[in-house]
Chain A
Amino acid sequence: MSNNKSNRGRPKGATSFVRVSLKDLMQQIGENASVVVSKKWLESITGGVDELPPATNTEASQIKEVEEPTPEIERIQFTIHND
């Protein structure tokens, strides 16, 4: 076993993802391109997915639009006394 632990694994602060605007991405690859996205991210915006969409350029590869529920507004409780 190597004792040189500092060379093992991912360096601190390194990430696998970069942030890019959808507009810039579409200029590069077009709107019908198939892209690979994080499964967790996809689940967070679609509410759950069993597997990655098929890697085709068909309409079926497009993510289905999901209507997000409107968050309930928390109301301050108050009473008006007129008497």
Chain B
Amino acid sequence: MINELIGQEQLKKRLQFYTDSKKATGVIPFLMFNGAKGLGKTEFAKRFAKTLGKKMIEINCSTIRNGEQFFEQIFIPAILDKDITILFDEAHALPKDLVMAFLTIFNVEGAKTKRFDFGENSFVFDFQRQTFMFATTELDKLFPPFRDRLTVVDFVPYSSDELGKIMTKKISWVNFKDNVMEDIAFTLRGNARSAIKRALEVKAYCEVNNQSDFGRYDWNRLCTLIDIRPYGLSNTEIQVMQLLRDRGACTLQMISAVTGLSRTAIQRDAEIYLLKEGFVKIDGKRWITDKGVKVLDNIN
């Protein structure tokens, strides 16, 4: 079932190992899926739960206010005495008192069950029946002792070839011509969710134009219609690059003042990808590279 998914080959091997070892040990380690958004953490968790033959409850941790609320609304009605897989999504947003409870609950040292007293109640966690998994985009924000109790499984960006396969699988009736898939994959930034979204855009384009072939002419037209930039650059990233080209080296403060974006937003939303692709460099100040200038020339 997991093997039906495209990419993340190393991760698939690990999950297969845990599935096989469950037959001997009876339990699955407390897994923490770590990776950027759009890499398929939830989809892999769903397939893994299916492999284990259990339904899965996916909880958005940012909506949990405290431990009491979790035990009342989730644990008692949906987990206690049930065979189920639980995925805590955005685990870095778990409330502090629940993290403290989890420190005790997940400190099992080989035990297959754990009794935990919370308030006036006592709850039994049966790890042979219940599989606990977590997912986050911000592993560094997790309380270190809690992180130590989990088995971290890393997701990696998808290759162009894998992104092409994801798109083709989604819209198998579209005939991609002129090796256009390479150009499309180039704009997806290694992100599977972006590949699915792009597939739906291509599907809409083909349906509107009543065609099943999609070549370079169509791709260029689609890029113009819905503003797809080379390398999948966002407007903010282009704005930062243009600023560095026009004004030379700038401080983060200067970029913030000109763009009107906060320093954190620039660092988080623009600089990471620009640095990764080698379009800018930081040497005290921010500079645009020759590669960055060439990309901008193509856009203009």
Stretch at the interface among A11-19, A48-56, A70-78: A70-78
Whole-angstrom CA separation of A80 from B65 in the bound complex: 20
Q: Which of A78, A79, A80 has the most CB of B within 10 A?
A: A78
A-B Cβ contacts below 8 A, count: 37
Residues 2-43 of chain A: 1 if any B CB is under 8 Å from the residue's CB, otherwise 0?
000000000000000000000000000000000000000000
Query: In the complex the two chains form, is A78's CB within 8 Å of B69's CB?
Result: no
CB-CB under 8 A from B59, the residues of chain A are: 76-78
* Whole-angstrom distance between the Cβ of A44 and the nearest chain B Cβ: 24
Query: In the complex the two chains form, is A76's CB within 8 Å of B73's CB?
Result: yes
Query: In the complex the two chains form, is A80's CB within 8 Å of B56's CB?
Result: yes
Whole-angstrom CA separation of A5 from B55 in the bound complex: 72
**How many A residues touch B, CB cutoff 8 Å?**
10
Whole-angstrom CA separation of A6 from B46 in the bound complex: 70
Query: In the complex the two chains form, is A79's CB within 8 Å of B65's CB?
Result: no
Residue B231 lies at the interface, judged by CB distance under 8 Å to chain A: no
CB-CB under 8 A from A74, the residues of chain B are: 63, 65, 69
The main secondary structure of chain A at its interface with chain B is loop
Whole-angstrom CA separation of A77 from B46 in the bound complex: 17
CB-CB under 8 A from B240, the residues of chain A are: none
Residue A82 lies at the interface, judged by CB distance under 8 Å to chain B: yes
CB-CB under 8 A from B63, the residues of chain A are: 74-77
Residue B60 lies at the interface, judged by CB distance under 8 Å to chain A: yes
Chain A to chain B contacts (Cβ below 8 Å), 21 pairs: A74-B63, A75-B63, A75-B73, A76-B59, A76-B63, A76-B64, A76-B69, A76-B70, A76-B73, A77-B59, A77-B60, A77-B63, A78-B58, A79-B57, A79-B58, A80-B55, A80-B56, A80-B57, A80-B58, A81-B57, A82-B55
A-B CB proximity, top 8 nearest: A77-B63, A77-B60, A78-B59, A81-B56, A79-B58, A82-B55, A76-B73, A76-B63
